Amino acid sequence: MAPVFYSFRRCPYAMRARLALVSSQVPVALREVVLRDKPAAFLAASPSGTVPCLVTSDRVIDESLDIMIWALEQNDPEGWLQMPAGGWDWIARCDGPFKEALDKTKYATRYPDSDPAEARAAAVGFLTDLDRRLETWMFETPSGADFAILPFVRQFAFIDMNWFEAQDWPALQRWLADFLASRGFAAIMPKFPQWQPGTPEVAFP
């Protein structure tokens, strides 16, 4: 039986996990979760109650980056794990300070004690550094760092795309545009029906 993969289409953490599953071509049974109506089976499986969550025959993987690594350790035809060690540092910056700044910019009403302008400035610092890092990719070839970070840059850009496109980030803007136009992005974004017990499993990828 294929591992069960709980996902939510628009979640950037779930996107990065789906990107790795597409790259690795490791088959899973995808169960689309509606976050306001989480099924009991998902809550029983996920220690955190958050997507994505992968349930294999012998373990539960409840962190998106760990799901990426698990999938690519099964099969890594594009060499995403063969990136310089600095790639992990970039992912840590994305998942830590940048994601915090992104949330405080996008969901400002949830953080009444935070200044959205300061949060956006913090995000801008990361994105400016990333623009300087990029050529075609973060390193010589596409890597796990690119695809672990791109969904979060996408989320930030869509807060105000006109503002994002007006910034002096030519490499970053091209990197994101190429990703949004790619077959890989299209492969992870079909709309799946909400999973409920008794509904047919969806084979993915």
| Confidence at residue 159, expressed as pLDDT on a 0 to 100 scale | 97
Q: How confident is the model at residue 1 (pLDDT cuts 50, 70, 90)?
A: confident
| Confidence at residue 136, expressed as pLDDT on a 0 to 100 scale | 95
The reply to whether the predicted model has a pTM over 0.85 is: yes
pLDDT surpassing 90 at residue 40: yes
- Lowest-confidence pick of 38-47, 94-103, 142-151: 38-47
| Confidence at residue 92, expressed as pLDDT on a 0 to 100 scale | 98
Q: How confident is the model at residue 17 (pLDDT cuts 50, 70, 90)?
A: very high
Q: State the average pLDDT over residues 19-25.
A: 98
Q: Which helix (H) or strand (E) holds 15?
A: helix 12-24
Per-position b or e across 27-52, b if 16+ CB within 10 A of its CB? ebbbbbbeeeebbebbeebbeeebbb
pLDDT tens digits, 182-202: 999 999 999 999 999 998 889
Instruction: Map out the domains of the chain with their CATH numbers.
Output: 4-79+189-204 (3.40.30.10), 86-185 (1.20.1050.10)
* Average pLDDT, rounded, for the chain: 96
Tokens 């310089």 appear where? 84
pLDDT surpassing 90 at residue 42: yes
pLDDT surpassing 90 at residue 139: yes
| Residue 202: φ, ψ to 5° | -105, 120
Give me the percent of the chain exceeding a pLDDT of 90. Answer: 95
Separation between Cα atoms, residue 55 and residue 4, nearest integer Å: 5
Q: What are the C-alpha distances in Å from 45 to residues 6, 25, 86, 98, 129? A: 9, 23, 33, 29, 38
| Confidence at residue 112, expressed as pLDDT on a 0 to 100 scale | 92
Q: State the average pLDDT over residues 175-185.
A: 98
